[in-house]
Amino acid sequence: MSIFCIGRNYVAHAHELGNEVPTSPVIFMKPSTAVLAEGKNFTIPSFTNDLHYEGELVLRVCKEGKNLKDPNVLDYCDAITVGIDFTARDLQNKLKEKGLPWEKAKAFDDAAILGKWAPLTAAVVASSIHFSLHKNGAIVQDGDSSLMIFPLATILESLTEYFTIHPGDLIYTGTPVGVGPTNKGDVFEGYFEANQVFSVKVNP
């Protein structure tokens, strides 16, 4: 299983971190070991003092694809959910300053939270998909797919220019504005539309 991730896919999020708004999708990857096992608590790694949450929509690939042109998302993805891309922001900033890759800051064990899957239907793809991330009972990120710089079909087209996608692969589609610090004892809940799809606690 490959985990593909899109960075800076919302204008307001790019601005909140002082980044340029990209003209093409920013792509990075995580290993399969990055997915937190269902029912397991999350532990903040010892190598960061500034861990941030980044809630986002996640697609599940159902069909192999390469060099797709204006693809129908429903032909290649069959499910959607909400997840978290945990990021060691202090480490990421150091890596960025040196022009180095981000994997140490984003691809570590358990860095990817994954909610329960919902079917990806034509109605879902055609709509503005609303999702949110709650921290300790309060909404910290309120996202809508209509605000993506690069919509789902564009993400698939860009990914498959460089990589072959396979059934079971995951695509984290980027986080909206509102990222922030994660602390011991926090509880995060992800919502796809009005439905809660995950709840994860950070170990004290």
Three-state DSSP at 155 gives helix
Going by their DSSP bridges, the two strands 195-201 and 112-114 should be labelled as: unpaired
Q: Check if the beta carbon of residue 22 is closer than 8 Å to that of residue 44.
A: no
For the record, the structure tokens of 144 come out as: 């809508």
pLDDT of res. 108: 98
For the record, the structure tokens of 162 come out as: 């460089």
What pLDDT digit, counting tens, does each position of 47-92 carry?
999 999 999 999 999 999 999 999 999 999 999 999 999 999 999 9
pLDDT of res. 14: 85
Ordered DSSP codes for 26-50:
EEEEE-GGGBPPTTPPB---TT-S-
Q: Check if the beta carbon of residue 30 is closer than 8 Å to that of residue 111.
A: yes
Host H or E run for residue 19 = none
What pLDDT digit, counting tens, does each position of 173-193 carry?
999 999 999 999 999 999 999
The mean pLDDT of 159-168, rounded to a whole number, is: 98
Its pTM stands at 0.96
For the record, the structure tokens of 25 come out as: 């999708």
**What fold is seen in the domain 3-36+50-201?**
Fumarylacetoacetate hydrolase; domain 2 (3.90.850)
What pLDDT digit, counting tens, does each position of 18-57 carry?
888 899 999 999 999 999 999 999 999 999 999 999 999 9
Q: Is 90 exceeded by the pLDDT of residue 1?
A: yes
* Eight-state DSSP code of residue 57: E
What are the residues whose beta carbons fall under 8 Å from the beta carbon of 126, sequence distance 6 or more?
A: none
